[in-house]
A = this chain, B = another copy of it.
Amino acid sequence: MSLDRLIAKIIEMKNPTVAGLDPKFEYVPAYLQKEFLSEDGETLKAASKAIFRYNQMLIDALCDIVPAVKLQAAYYEMYGHHGVKTMERTIRYAKLRGMYVITDAKRNDIGATMQAYTAAHLGVCKVGSTEFEPFGADALTVNGYLGTDGISPLLETCKARDKGIFVLCKTSNPSSGEFQDLLIDGQPLYARMGDKCEEWGADTVGQFGYSAVGAVVGATYPEQLTELRKRLPHTMFLVPGYGAQGGGAQGIAGGFDDKGLGAVVNSSRAILLAYQKEGCDEHDFAGAARREAIRMREDLCSFIKL
């Protein structure tokens, strides 16, 4: 009922990172592309099957050194229901390999509709008397603009099924300040959102001091990361923007507590496309991803005491 399972894995692997599986068909090495195109032609199905194989091989290469994966739903929806099937299969496979799975879908709605999103991504769906786990992730990113009505349905499932959520707070993009930095009685909106995360999570605090309700805070805003770490003692941070978007390990360190906990840092493209950057044989794409994940762990751990 908290994020303890994630935190325990981070401690076990001494690695506070999450690998972002945000794949495009163009990212898949040419030899794999060819294999699936020759089977199903230039179709969404072929692309989706190729991406699943790519994900599987990445998961195999990462699962003993990286505690978690984060699937960005947009990249699966882009391939229609075939892509969504690949999302389902990837989640299942990553869990099978022992990884903690975050679906980054930034879902938001109210009441019965938010219940449906909760059932889809973290819960179960009943058909007659038979129950199914449609996606079955461990945690989901959500957008809190609609207030408590949009969060309550998730909290019930977090408690009942030991799941977590990460609420968008201060995002990593250049224009995140347009709304998130607006001052209300002298306090920025993102701090208000953070305070709500503390409130929403209050009765789900686990053994490491963090609740089931985390917050998304970008690596590109190190001052706000540090400020929010102090302000939100029970709210774990999911930190996007490391590497590609310009957030460095030193700046990110402020998002961690003095035990080296309280944050998990995402890297997507740098890991997925490490084989291109490294210039190695494309058949070794998963090996290159592993080397980049190790480099990232060492980079982060040189600033964080874990």
Name the residue of chain B whose CB is nearest to the CB of A218.
Answer: B110
The interface residues of chain B lying within 8 Å CB-to-CB of A72 are 109, 113, 116
> Which of A57-65, A138-146, A224-232, A292-300 is near enough to bind chain B?
A138-146
Contact with A192, one of B25, B168, B182 (Cβ below 8 angstroms): B182
Which residues of chain A from 87 to 138 have any CB-CB distance to chain B below 8 Å in the complex?
A: 87-88, 106-111, 113-114, 116-117, 119-121, 125, 127-130, 132, 134-135
**A77-B121 CB under 8 A given contacts A176-B149, A184-B183, A192-B182:** yes
Contact for A147 among B37, B44, B179, CB less than 8 A: B179
User: Complex Cα distance A291/B128, Å?
Assistant: 29
Q: Say if the beta carbon of A47 comes within 8 Å of chain B.
A: yes
Contact partner of A176 among B44, B147, B178, B179, CB < 8 A?
A: B147
**Contact A145 B180, beta carbon cutoff 8 Å:** yes
Q: How many copies does the complex hold?
A: 2
Report which of B74, B111, B150, B176 forms a contact with A120, defined as CB distance below 8 A.
B74
Q: Does A303 contact B (CB under 8 A)?
A: no
Alpha-carbon gap, A183 to B185, bound state (A): 8
- Distance (whole angstroms) from the CB of A178 to the closest CB of chain B: 3
The reply to whether A113 and B145 form a contact with Cβ atoms under 8 Å apart is: no
Determine whether the beta carbon of A109 is less than 8 Å from that of B74. Answer: yes
Using CB atoms, name the residue of chain B closest to A172.
B110
Q: Report the stretch among A6-14, A78-86, A252-260, A279-287 that lies at the interface.
A: A78-86
Asked if A150 and B173 sit within 8 Å, CB to CB, the answer is yes
A46 near B80 with CB under 8 A, answer: no
Q: Within 8 Å CB of A189, what residues of B?
A: 179, 182, 189
The reply on A198 being an interface residue by CB < 8 A is: no
Answer whether A125 and B171 are a contact pair too, CB < 8 Å, given A81-B84, A113-B75: no
> Interface of A with B (CB < 8 Å)?
22, 24-25, 37, 42-44, 46-47, 72, 74-75, 77-85, 87-88, 106-111, 113-114, 116-117, 119-121, 125, 127-130, 132, 134-135, 143-150, 168, 171-180, 182-184, 189, 192-193, 196
